Amino acid sequence: MEWPGWQPEPERIPLTESSMAERRNLGDILTGIGRLSDEAVAKALEYQRDHGGYFGEALIACGFLSAEELEWGLASQFDLPYVFPDADSIDVEAASLVSAEWALAHLALPITRTEDTLTVVVESPFRTAALDELETRTGLEIELALASPTNIREAIQQVYARGAPAEEGAQQKPVDLESAFREALGAASSAFGVSTRGPRASAWWDDSGTVRRRPLRHGWEAELEQLLEPPPRDRIASSSRATWEASLDRDGVPTPVEVRYLADESGRELLVRPVGERPALEDRFSTPGRGLVSEVRMLARSGSARFIVTTEPSELGHEILPHLPGLLLDPSWRSLHILREDREPPAGVFAFRLPTDPERWTSELEALRAFHFDVVTVDLPGDRADWADRALAVAPVAFFLWPASEQRKIALDAGIRWDLHIVAAEGHRLAWSLEPLPA
């Protein structure tokens, strides 16, 4: 099977001990094509002796090689194809063998399968433990292909954002408008609306770059009049174009939105954009790239969104933590910020302050579970091993402020799997990164 992005695949050599001995040296490969000099190889080897790590990492650290060139060299060394995975050409059945969390955590994505084999694109041929587990679980022989970490992340975001066709098809029965809008807000959509052509009407929303659509049941226009205040009939009348600010009712909670309307003889278009808290937050904190936001939202929807939040400087954490739901998810998610009563919560953040005595925290945290919050942010001092599991039970999505010096094992034992790291850079900008916690 061929698909865009594959380079011709050389004859594969099984990764046995004997083939390891026969495998060409990375330095020989790169000097053989004129990419490295013998002097550069010697300097990189000296750097490796002094600093440890892989030879390829030493080449990058010394400035002799780019990350992309190293990946190509490793592909040649291990007789593996170097690919540029195209999300539209990836076998969804193969990708569905792993969760989005597994794919992100290991930067590995199944891209095609046969009756006996599963091809997995990875960033490095050295990361094999998770692939061994996948081979055992699926009963398929794992074949590797290499790609850059950036390309793998983009493919993961696109593949899991669009969902499996079977899942999409199962939801193509007509739905009521309120359910469609609730799903759009739950996906933290930046834009959603209604489109009509003749008698057909459908709801749509932007889900991290993928537009999802649902046919609407009869009676959706009456629903729209109830959901928006002021209702559309007061604004559009016989007009073919209109723009206004409104409030969208979400289970009794008003969400400020901007509404735009277009119409002609063939149909109508209604565009809704949530507004309000996010622009103010973005003026205060520079937001991460679209890729990181997509990954956080994807993890949140999968139910595996538990993060430690580490910051540089440490004071930044107290300031930004309560606002992470609004920056990364959506203000319409019911969030709760937990802190100790001797600290003041930020204005506009729904917060619960625990007593200064940690002995009383257990009962207080357990009582909060009954409220079924969507997301919780936790800024508490002391030994996290004593209360982390109880705080995690408050909501399915959790952000824990975590000192850089605190042991990561405590987080892993409590069920946290991701490290969201935020660094204050020049010009009041923030540098964001998301990495799985090392086991």
Q: pLDDT-based confidence at 302, cuts 50/70/90?
A: confident
CB burial of residue 36 (10 Å; 0-12, 13-18, 19+): buried
CB burial of residue 185 (10 Å; 0-12, 13-18, 19+): buried
Amino acid identity, residue 4?
P
DSSP 3-state percent helix, strand, coil across the chain (nearest 5): 40, 25, 35
CATH code of the domain made up of 172-275: 3.30.450.90
pLDDT at 170: 44
Please state the pTM of the whole predicted model.
Answer: 0.63
Question: In the predicted model, is pLDDT for residue 414 greater than 80?
Answer: yes
pLDDT at 271: 93
Enter the DSSP assignment of 326. I
Question: In the predicted model, is pLDDT for residue 90 greater than 90?
Answer: no
Cβ 13 vs Cβ 79: under 8 Å: yes
- Within 8 A by CB and 6+ apart from 199, the residues are none
d(CA 151, CA 107): 10
Comparing 12-21, 112-121, 421-430, the range with the smallest average pLDDT is 12-21
Residues 198-236: tens digit of each pLDDT: 889 999 988 766 778 889 999 999 999 999 999 888 788
The architecture (CATH level 2) of 279-436 comes to 3-Layer(aba) Sandwich (3.40)
Residues 244-279: tens digit of each pLDDT: 999 988 777 788 899 999 988 888 999 998 886 666
Section 365-378 average pLDDT: 92
pLDDT at 159: 83
DSSP 3-state of 259: strand
Burial 361-376 (b: 16+ CB within 10 A, else e): beeebeebeeeebbbb
Between 35 and 185, the more confident residue is: 185
Residue ranges covered by each domain of the chain: 17-162, 172-275, 279-436
Q: pLDDT-based confidence at 126, cuts 50/70/90?
A: low
- In the chain the first and final C-alpha atoms are separated, in Å, by 36
Question: In the predicted model, is pLDDT for residue 7 greater than 60?
Answer: no
Question: In the predicted model, is pLDDT for residue 14 greater than 50?
Answer: no
pLDDT at 127: 60
pLDDT at 270: 92
* CB neighbourhood size of 279 (10 A): 9
Q: pLDDT-based confidence at 5, cuts 50/70/90?
A: very low
CATH code of the domain made up of 17-162: 3.30.300.160
pLDDT at 80: 65
Residue whose C-alpha is closest to residue 331's, from 257, 226, 395? 257
Which one of 16-30, 157-171, 292-306, 376-390 scores highest in mean pLDDT? Answer: 376-390
d(CA 323, CA 381): 19
d(CA 104, CA 92): 16
